[in-house]
Amino acid sequence: MIGAMVLSIWNERVAAIRSKYHHLRTTVLIKSEDLLELALFEHDTVLYNQDSFTWKWNKNHNIEGFNEDGEHKFTWQPHGAQFTIIEHVPDDRLAIIIKQPEQLSPKVVLEGLGFTQNWVRILGMRSELL
C-alpha cells in the first residue's frame, strides 16, 4: 500500500538522523490566520510501526493513515508530496497572543524616515500611464 511506503520513507529518514544524533525532537508552531496567536510545542521524533496503521484515500485524493483506535494520524498529499503527522496539542504548550498594533499613518512613517520631496524626481508624464 502506498501509505505504508510513505511511512517507510519517514522511518528511513528518522533512522538516518538518529544514527548521528541521539536526541531528535520535532518542533511544532501553530499560527492563527491573523498571525496574532501562536502555539509552540515539541516532542520526540519517533519511528512508526507500519503495521499499526490503515490507509485510505479521502475525497481530495490524499491518503490518510489511521491508528488502531481509528484516530486520524497521517495525511499524505501525493500531488504536493507533503506528509503531515497529526499531533495532539498539549495543554502545557507555549501560547502567545500578540496585541494588534495600531496602523501607522503614512505621514508618521515618512517623517520617521526623514523623507523629503527631493527623494522623488519626476522625469515626465506619458499619456498612456494616465
Q: What is the pLDDT of residue 129?
A: 59
- Give the pLDDT score at 27: 96
Segment 47-56, tens digit of pLDDT: 999 899 999 9
Q: Which of the four pLDDT bands, split at 50, 70 and 90, describes residue 80? A: confident
Contacts of residues 58-64 at CB distance under 8 Å and 24 or more positions apart, as own/partner, are 63/2, 63/3, 63/6, 64/3
- Position 130 scores a pLDDT of 57
pLDDT at residue number 78: 82
Domain boundaries, the chain: 2-100
Could you tell me what percent of the chain has a pLDDT over 90? 78
The CB-based long-range contact list for 63-66 (8 Å cut-off, 24+ gap) reads 63/2, 63/3, 63/6, 64/3, 65/3, 65/7
